A = this chain, B = another copy of it.
């Protein structure tokens, strides 16, 4: 199976002479697929119901003739100006009900009837026209859903929200779940419920949680609406839409992944930050785990981006290293935004495979060299013995709460645990609500504020059968409606953990624990032991000498509770004492991935590195230059 290599291709910005040059240079770069037509709507449909496919026809044929596959986009990511002007319902509204006007991109209300109607018509037209075109190899629905418009507060959304609620709950259930006896919020009719618009103080967190679910579902409906049309027309063409990585909170990607054939995502690490290689690896692992199968790196920058405050160039080799990281973590393809750097528009200072200054540039040379390298490789099947639990409802509920502490951020907690494995070169999967945990030695839930009943059962069984479960602080507080458990924190997993958590203290300075006098920060759960033992106690404050970290034998397995937080170095020391999987030593940010008989060594740093590489029975001295990638076979 060949590795996909290519880019977003926007030939509508260029003359036909340039198209011919493009074909030549794509060959030089070993490009085998492009994402076409992503922003094509305004050209395809000059006025409502009148289509013009001339340019797209020509491009499809040209690409086919040049042996370049097409991941054909449905062009619904940015509606034409005429559509925004013609119908009142198309543009979204902000929290104060002010309009989000036309002029940028993705300025449509997810629940706009006219946007939906015109998108359906367009996708059907495109599907019918190209369903048998030999260049067509994949569908690219919309683009970066939720990146610019992830929420809308308009009256159409209000109406749809009420229908969404009615399909799930009675009004009595809503009053009960949201706790509307608080602050006189009781509803007597569905019509009284509105989106969480600008108001005088905090909203009801239950309503906000359900509105987040509703918005993710509304946008998912857009996807499903297109998916259904294309599946019917071309059942054998795989469909994808490009996700936005681990920082993208608005969409429940796990829920979405059921309906997507191949997961793909856009990777834009901040190259000025030390943690970016780790964070990017984490996202690859998250994306791969959504369907437990190969995924595509759908966009990355060949060199600099344009939208941060300061946008330095990638150093020589850095783009290659990030691309190889994708392959090492299971990617089926490596693609860029975009083929040719734009001369106009809001992204003209975002690099392209061919930059403003042409093909005689470092960027294009690195692009060609990577293409050649990938031609001789095949995708890697990635296996891990460690899993981290991820849940979007939990993320949403945790971070809307007024209190207890702004320091408890869901993805930060996950990163603080993931970091240990990354820096020890131990492979990690992510698991979700309904995942099978059987094959993992460790399952970690860094900040499981919400207990989902199904996962509670799964993890009980997992530990009973010999698994090891590690739970972080501020966990087990609320149920799926964001109500605190009547029966106290930890609820149904008290027996599993062998403790109860009777309270917590929020730290403005720090405390320490008795294990190696590690400094703990941010948060201290107050713990009572039942069947568990203390691994480490707090060393000061009024809860001095009470448990901070505990271990509980449960069935054939063990459960650990870590009731406090640590910085990276301290966390490293603590987890080293709990995790018995042997990692691979390497210098900081030199990543070593071993999968099957592949060994990939990625130097993510700006300096040359030397180290002794030891694993299994091998032991060899490695010298690796700054931003170099070394591929070995065991």
Q: Which residues of A contact B (CB under 8 A)?
A: 10, 12-13, 39-43, 46-47, 75, 77-82, 85, 92, 94, 96-107, 147-149, 178-189, 191-194, 196-207, 272, 304-313, 315-316, 342-350, 355-358, 360-363, 401-407, 482-486, 488-489, 500-503, 505-508, 542
Question: Once the chains are docked, how many angstroms separate the CA of A402 from the CA of B103?
Answer: 15
B104 x A183 contact (CB < 8 A): yes
Interface centre among A180, A205, A507 (most CB of B within 10 A): A180
- Cα distance A97–B96 in the bound complex, in angstroms: 10
A346 to chain B, nearest CB (A): 4
Q: Is the CB of B357 within 8 A of A201?
A: no
* 10 intermolecular pairs with C-beta atoms under 8 Å apart: A39-B181, A81-B186, A94-B198, A96-B98, A106-B201, A147-B201, A185-B345, A310-B407, A310-B507, A356-B503
**A206: nearest chain-B partner, CB-CB:** B344
**Top 5 A-B pairs ranked by shortest CB distance?**
A179-B344, A306-B403, A182-B345, A349-B403, A202-B346
Interface centre among A39, A98, A272, A344 (most CB of B within 10 A): A344
A542 engages B107 (CB within 8 Å)? no
Interface centre among A40, A309, A506 (most CB of B within 10 A): A506
B508 touches A402 (CB 8 A): no
Q: Which residue of B203, B404, B407 is within 8 Å of A306 (Cβ)? A: B404
| With known contacts A99-B97, A199-B101, A184–B311 Cβ distance under 8 A | no
User: A310 CB to closest chain B CB, in angstroms?
Assistant: 5
Task: Report if A199-B402 is in contact (Cβ < 8 Å); known contacts: A181-B13, A188-B47.
Answer: no
Task: Write out the residue numbers on chain B whose beta carbons fall within 8 Å of the beta carbon of A350.
Answer: 403
Contact assessment for A184 and B356 in the assembled complex, using a CB-CB cutoff below 8 Å: no
Find chain B residues with CB under 8 A from A198 CB.
94, 98-101
B78, A508: Cβ atoms under 8 Å?
no
Taking A106-B200, A179-B344, A306-B403 as known contacts, 13 extra A-B pairs with beta carbons closer than 8 A to each other, sorted by chain A number, are A39-B184, A77-B184, A78-B185, A97-B98, A104-B200, A104-B203, A185-B345, A206-B345, A304-B404, A311-B403, A311-B404, A342-B484, A344-B483
Which of B40, B82, B200 touches A107 (beta carbons < 8 Å)?
Answer: B200
Q: Which has the most chain B C-beta neighbours within 10 Å: A98, A307, A357?
A: A357
| CB <8 Å contact, A185 and B484 | no
Neighbouring B residues of A199 by C-beta, 8 Å: 100-104, 107
CB <8 Å contact, B542 and A503: no
On whether the beta carbons of B182 and A344 are closer than 8 Å, the reply is yes
A191 near B304: Cβ-Cβ < 8 Å: no
Q: In the bound complex, what is the Cα–Cα distance between A187 and B47 (angstroms)?
A: 10
Q: Which residues of B contact A39 (CB under 8 A)?
A: 181-184
Q: Is the CB of A306 within 8 A of B402?
A: yes
Indicate if the CB atoms of A182 and B13 lie closer than 8 Å.
yes
Shortest beta-carbon distance, A302 to chain B, in Å? 12
Do residues B404 and A81 form an inter-chain contact, with CB atoms below 8 A? no
Known contacts A98-B97, A103-B197, A198-B98; A192 and B358 CB within 8 A of each other: no
Which residues does chain B contribute within 8 Å of A313, judged by CB atoms? 503, 505-506
With known contacts A102-B194, A104-B201, A12–B181 Cβ distance under 8 A: yes
Q: Which of B92, B94, B201 contacts A346 (CB 8 A)?
A: B201
A69 to chain B, nearest CB (A): 23
Q: Which chain B positions have C-beta within 8 A of A204?
A: 103-104, 345-346
Closest to A13 in B: B181
Pair B310/A406 contact, Cβ less than 8 Å: yes
Q: Does A104 contact B202, Cβ atoms closer than 8 Å?
A: yes
B346 in contact with A182 (CB, 8 Å): yes
The complex places the Cα of A39 from the Cα of B185 at a distance, in Å, of: 9
Q: Which residue of A79, A405, A507 has the most chain B CB atoms within 10 A of its CB atom?
A: A405
The chain B residue with its CB closest to the CB of A38 is: B184
**Contact A203–B346 (Cβ < 8 Å):** yes
**Chain B residues near A47 (CB-CB < 8 A):** 188
Nearest residue, chain B, Cβ from A18: B486
A184 to B74, CA, bound (A): 12
Question: In the complex, which residue of chain B has the Cβ closest to the Cβ of A523?
Answer: B310
Asked if residues B100 and A343 are in contact (CB atoms below 8 Å), the reply is: no
Given contacts A104-B203, A198-B98, A508-B272, contact A80 B42 (CB under 8 A): no
Contacts of A349 in B (CB 8 A): 401-404
| In the complex, residue of chain B having the shortest beta-carbon distance to the beta carbon of A181 | B12
- If the complex has contacts A200-B92, A313-B503, are A184 and B344 also in contact, measured as CB distance less than 8 A? no
